[in-house]
A and B are shown apart, each in its own frame.
Chain A
């Protein structure tokens, strides 16, 4: 969390005695918009310069909930001369080598086109993000794999983007953001899931995004802390929509990864949905099984930010309820609420669970 260490020891080189890890949420960041120019038509470069991104939020740059620190990043994650997450050599040394990370999944979430009000412009930027990922990150560093940035609000454009990279081993996932503009289980998004399932790619849903609605059903809260905590509620709504609309019934091979929204809320949500299904199933005849069964079978969760109960053993109960094979370790590098693999598990756990948590679940999912 937000602790400033004055004399942080230099990152250690890859230490093979350390358990290898997969890091399922790493955020690469462009140094400036110019990085995308090689992959954008002239029209869109000019548009970007003239009008900016215009996501569904108030400010031209930066959120109306100011972050806790610049770019929401660790104080020590600034590479010489650049912004956090913008330098591959620095990230290699500080993250991949230090954590003995053998598989890192890149989620390029910042200003990536997905929530732009102008959807044609957004689709062009999504595509540019993918080309930039290949050129700057995936080609030079084989430990890193990409998530395809897709303009999911325009399902046809998203499908085109998925089909463009289907079968490309450099990409292991389709990326969406949590705050869709309508409930994501609704029909207008189905083509995205169909295309992802057909390509054999999980759909990763990352916290954040700008759908235009307040994070709470009771309006806009005042504080960044509420917005951050609210990702868990927003993700509950996302998962509820996917289950209740029958997306998993329709696309049984779809695999859904919920990223950076916590995980300990899953059991209580599943119990609630099961109980409601018993009571209200007249409304949802398209559901053939208990909601909890769809969740158990089709949903994975990244671990960061780990919930931290006062009695830290309690979080292990939550993992028992979810299933140890469904959690994917993630650091969220370079962000301030980074989880360190050497501290993240509160108590010793048996070797098989530990290996699944840090590495093997991710390898089984992403290959």
Chain B
């Protein structure tokens, strides 16, 4: 099928892509005189009007502090906040909403575990096992925790094609390993890791498992019970919600045994000058006035995700990614990275000797937004033998014609920098 037939034939759920794009006010704008082609979705997603409206309506109609006000607004705000928690629970298929802790995002969620869980569970000489493809957010917190607790940080190696070498991890397993920290989907290569198999491996050897789900939740159906991970972190802003809200899922028994992380209001049961006792889950980990606006926006974003349909999203993005990889193969001097069997719509590449920054700047002139750099995963960039790469990353609101524009602009960049 040629592109036009494909675009006409392909629907996202029951709607055309043009129709769906109409839900996102920002996609309407121009950049440098050209229609915006937003291909930086792995960095952050654009927001549907539904999310923006939910935030506005919350402030125009229901704003109050949560969990304390004995008035109608307070009760409504609390209900909206807790309803959002229930939506996150169902999105991840957690057993109970008590297992969902709101955070600022993935980074804060991982830091919570690397602080509270690490202090209670890591002793001198223990091992934390991460992978060579982790985002700095699932690497640096463990470097800090290991330094604090006197532990060693080891890594599951990345193979040539961008897959994790699980066999090597099993062969070289250190019996002192207490936790495996692994990303579900690589933000650099798009590799979708078999986190279920990794969890089984870890649990069989007595280690807990934390999954960084930031690049997974927007693109595929997540089931934390099926994966059987102990912790799962993600960010609202990558899944069409606002910035500054995200969540940590943790198994109830594990969260219950963990000490509080931050002290303050809301996380306590009773306070005297000498000491305090802690609130129940999940509030034990939510000190201070939370980001209710963010939770309300995330709640609307989850509704939107379900309305589009996660299965439809995975299918459409898979089609787009396959088309993009095929078109990019046709650009002379272009090198694509990663060849793992399961990949998301993350497309890393370099264009001959032209530096990634220069490529991205040229694409911006054409109205095309991509990311260039080491993508907060410097160790992986070094492993690939490149300093920086260009990364186009797809969402279901992207189109085949945007990919054609990307390819045309790359040809233009080749001519410009020749």
Say whether A and B bind each other: no
